[in-house]
Structure formats: structure tokens, C-alpha cells
Amino acid sequence: MRSIISKIKKLSLSHCLINSGDKIAVGVSGGKDSIVLLNALSTLRKTYPMPFSIVAICVDLSNGKMDFSKIKDFCNKLNVEFELVPSNVFEVVFEIRKEKNPCSLCANLRRGILNSTAKKLGCTKVALGHHADDLLETFLMSINQEQRLYLLPPKSYLSRTDLTVIRPMLLCFENEIIQASSVLPIVKNICPADHTTTRQDAKRFLTALEKNNPKIKQNLLNALTSVERYNLWKNEK
């Protein structure tokens, strides 16, 4: 966990992710990524050079079928405010709309509920648990599916809600997060589309590359996050 906190602090300071007086809503799904982020930010607030507070927001997509009591108890232990928001997102996506590609709609509905709840609670920022593997996978998906180069940004401003979304773990790899989450409470994902998405194809591609070069993920991350190393075509008019 120490390495993750250090990387979060490095990215937060270099990209001004956390400012003095921020109240940060941590979107907690109950999975390993969000629970590690919650734990790391809870620890970081004790030593970060600028004071900030956090609140954990769980959007229950299953309308009560998932049990978040372990997350609530964990928040009490961390002395972190906890907010559980019931919703019927799974019902809308899988039963009413019967989406063939459900992830996009589900994500939009979930983000909408998370952001509106954060605004209601007086938060200035929303922290999401995307990590370095997510960044690399999204980059590959943008090339393969959209024929463009796209990176998950560490920080983005939402003008409609006057909230800033931050992704403090973009320098942290998934294997670090898995290791750190082994002693933390995890809620099982009951999404019918879990592990069947196009993101899994990108994940498998990276895993195949790692067999020939164990450092490929770190090399890719260094290349993509170091602007001074870019050497892309430019239009000369």
C-alpha cells in the first residue's frame, strides 16, 4: 500500500488533483480498485501538504441485491463518511433495454448518479479507481475501435455539474492493487457482463506482450505519460 500511496501523491502534486479544502467523493463500487483508492486516500489525507476530506459513495446498481455492509463498517473504521445510493441500473440495462453492449449505458447511468450525489453532499471532486492497466487498455481500445489516440486524463472538469473528476491511481498497476486489496473488504460483482467485455480483449493482448517483455506495461506507461518523448506526425501548412 505504501507504493500506491506514494504514486497517488506524486500524480496528485504534479497534476494538481487535490487542492486545499477539497471534499472528494470516492466512487466505491465494492471492487478492489475503488476500495484500495478509498483506503489510500484515507491514509494520504493525514500527511498530504494540503488538507482535504473524503466521502465514500456506493451506487447500488442491483437495487438491494448486493450487500455493502462490509464497506460501511470499513468506512466507520477509517472515520470516512459513507453514502449508499440505491438504483435499478442493472434492471434498466439488462432487462428493460436488453443492451447488447451494456457497459457504456451502465457507466453513464452510474456516473450520473454518482455525480449528482457528490454535488448534493457538497463535494468539489469525484475520485475514480482507474489504474495504469485501465489507461493502457483504453489506449489500445481507442486505436482498435476508434482509430484515434486517447488516454484517460488524470483530471477533467465537468462544466454541467461544476465537478472535477480525478483518477489518482493512473500510475499504479493492477498487480499492485490486487496485492494491496488482499486484506481489504471486497464486494463481489454480480454484473452479468463481468469479464465478457471488449476491454478483456485488450487485457489479453497486453498479457501476451508481457510474455516476451515483462517490462512492456511500464515501458508503455512511461512513453504515454512523458510528453517530451512524443514524436507524432504534425500537419505542416
Between the CA atoms of 58, 81, 117 and 10, what dihedral angle is there, to the nearest 10 degrees?
A: -80
pLDDT for residue 99: 64
Span 199-212, average pLDDT: 91
Mean pLDDT estimate for the chain: 89
Q: Is residue 236 part of a domain?
A: no
CA distance 26 to 35: 9
For residue 100, pLDDT beyond 90: no
Q: What pLDDT digit, counting tens, does each position of 70-96 carry?
A: 999 999 999 999 999 888 777 777 767
Residue 29's nearest CA partner among 237, 222, 185 is: 185
What is the 3 state secondary structure string of 167-187?
A: CCCCCCCHHHHHHHHCCCCCC
* Residue 33 lies inside a defined structural domain of this protein: yes
Domains identified in the chain, total number: 1
How do residues 11-61 score in pLDDT, each as one tens digit?
A: 999 999 999 999 999 999 889 999 999 999 999 999 999 999 999 999 888
| CATH number where 173 lies | 3.40.50.620
Would residue 35 count as lying in a domain?
Answer: yes
pLDDT score of 170 more than 60: yes
Determine the pLDDT at residue 93.
Answer: 75
Strands 125-127 and 22-27, bridge-based pairing: parallel
Taking Cα atoms as reference points, which of 152, 104, 163 lies closest to residue 130?
152
Query: pTM value?
Result: 0.90
Distance of alpha carbon 186 from its chain centroid, rounded?
15
Residue 170 belongs to a domain: yes
* Structural domain range at position 114: 2-229
Q: Which of 42, 23, 28 is nearest to 71 (CA)?
A: 28
Residue at 234 is within a domain: no
pLDDT value at position 200?
86
In a domain, 47, yes or no: yes
Task: Average the pLDDT over each of 56-65, 66-75, 212-221 and give the range with the smallest value.
Answer: 56-65
Mean pLDDT of the region 111-136: 94
Q: How crowded is the C-beta side of 143, counted as CA atoms within 13 Å?
A: 8
- Higher per-residue confidence, 76 vs 99: 76
pLDDT digits (tens, 9 = 90+) for 175-187: 999 999 999 999 8
Report yes or no on 237 lying in a domain.
Answer: no
Is residue 148 packed enough to be buried (19+ CB in 10 Å), middle (13-18) or exposed (0-12)? exposed
Q: Give residue 194's pLDDT band: very low, low, confident or very high (50, 70, 90).
A: low
Joined together, the cell numbers standing for residue 115 give 455525480
Residue 235 domain-assigned (yes or no): no
Q: How confident is the model at residue 110 (pLDDT cuts 50, 70, 90)?
A: confident
What's residue 171's pLDDT? 97
Say yes or no to pLDDT of 196 above 90: no
Max avg pLDDT among 35-44, 106-115, 145-154: 35-44
Greater pLDDT, 188 or 24: 24
Evaluate if residue 195 carries a pLDDT over 60: no
